[in-house]
Structure 1
Amino acid sequence: MSNSYAQPILRTADLSEGLRIVGRLLRIADLRDLEVDFDARISSPHSLSQVLAVLPDADWWADGERDGASDTGDDPLAYLTIRLRRWAGAPETVEPFLKAVGDSPATVRWDFNAWPEAPEVGLGVGGTRGAFVTLCAHAHDLDLEEPAADYTMFVHVKQVEAERAPWLAAQVGLRVIGDLVMAPH
C-alpha cells in the first residue's frame, strides 16, 4: 500500500465555495466505493460536544504524550486536546461536521474509485490509491499542524501521475497553489 500525494488547489474563507468546488470535482470522478473520512484536532469542550453529536461513534485519542482513548472507555473531556477520527462516514455528514468543529483544525477526505482519463497530459484513468479530495478547515496542511482561519482544498494523485493535479485543478477553473506533498495515511 502506498500513500497518495496531494496538492493544494484552493484557499478560501467561504466554506460554501469550498464545498461547491468539491462537488464539481466529484462530478468528474468515478464515485463507486465512495467513502468520506473525518479527522479533527479538538481542544474545546464546546467543539467536542458538537462534533460528537454529529459523529457519535468517532474514535479519539489524546494528542501528545498522554494515553487516553475511546477504545479504553476514557472520557474525552479529560484529555483535551484530542485527535478525533471517523472513517467511512456518510457524505451528508460533511457540512454538519465542518460547522460543528468550530475553529478547530479538521479535514474531510472523499475517497472514491478513480479520477477520469486525462489525455491532455497523457494519463489514463487514475486508480484508487490516488483518488481523493481533501478539504482542510482551519489548517493549511493535511496533518493539521499549520493553523489557519480559512479552508484549503487538496486533490490527491499518485506520485507518478503528478501532472494529474494541475489538470484536475484546471477542470474546475483553478490552478495548483502549492507543492505536491506526501499525504498521511
Structure 2
Amino acid sequence: MYEKAFPNKRFKHTLQFLKRHVSTTESILDLGVENPFSEIMISEGYKVVNTIGEDLDEDRSAIENSSADVVTAFEIFEHLLSPYEVLKSIKSDKILISVPLRLWFSSAYRSKTDMRDRHYHEFEDWQLNWLLEKTDWVIKDREKWTNPIKKLGIRPILRRFTPRYYIVYAERA
C-alpha cells in the first residue's frame, strides 16, 4: 500500500528491515511520538504504541512499564543525552534502532527554534555497536544506506556514496 507513497528511501529500507526481524504478532513500543512511520507500521499490521513526547532522558517510565515484545527507536537516539540509560531500562528482548551517521562533511543537525530537535549524538557505526554491547545487547543484523538528494554541489555528490543511515537489530544478551 505505502510502497509507492514512501516519502523517502529511509522509510522503505526501515520497513524492509523491520519485516525481516519482527512479526506482526509481536507488540511494539516505538520510542517517540506518533509519526508517519509509526502509521506505516500500523497499516502493515503491526501493533504499535508510541511514547507521548516525554523527555526520555528524564522520564523512562513508559519504557520501564511497557510489556511490548519489541522496542523500536527510529532516529531517536541522536536526540538523547543518555541513550545508555534508555537502553538499560528496556525490558523487551528485541530492539531495532536506526540513527543518522556522522558525516565528516556536514555538521550535526541543530534546530535554532526547538531545543528538543537537536542531534546531541551523530554516531559512527562502531559507537552505536559499542553502546549496544555495553548495555547487554547482541547485534544480530545491521545495514547502512545512502541518502542521495537531487541537488547540485559537492555535498549532494558525497551523499550518493557516503552512508547516512545505520539500522541495527539486536537481542538481549
**When the two structures are superposed, what TM-score results if normalisation uses the length of structure 2?**
0.29
* Structure of higher RCO (CA pairs closer than 8 Å, 6+ residues apart): 1
Give the structure with the higher percent strand.
1
